[in-house]
Amino acid sequence: MSTTTAEITTAFLERLGAQDAEGLGDLFAEEIDWIVPGDPELTPWAGARSRKGEVPEYFRSLWSALEPGKSVVAVQSIVTEGDEAVIFAVFDHVAAPTGRPFHTDVAMRLTVVDGKVTRMHLFEDTAATAAAYAA
Specify the pLDDT at position 135: 78
Query: Which CATH fold would you assign to the domain 5-133?
Result: Nuclear Transport Factor 2; Chain: A, (3.10.450)
From the number of C-beta atoms within 10 Å of its C-beta (0-12, 13-18, 19+), residue 43 rates as: buried
| pLDDT at residue 102, as a whole number | 96
* Cα torsion 18, 19, 23, 27: sign: positive
Instruction: Mark the ranges of the chain whose per-residue pLDDT is less than 70.
Output: 1-2
Write down the pLDDT at residue 62. Answer: 96
Q: In what order do the strands lie in the sheet with 84-94?
A: 47-51, 28-36, 116-123, 101-113, 84-94, 72-81
**Alpha carbons 106 and 47: distance in angstroms, whole number:** 16
Residue 5 identity: T
Rg of the chain over all Cα atoms, to the nearest angstrom: 14
CA 41 from chain centre, in angstroms, equals 19
Q: What is d(CA 109, CA 123) in angstroms, rounded to the nearest whole number?
A: 8
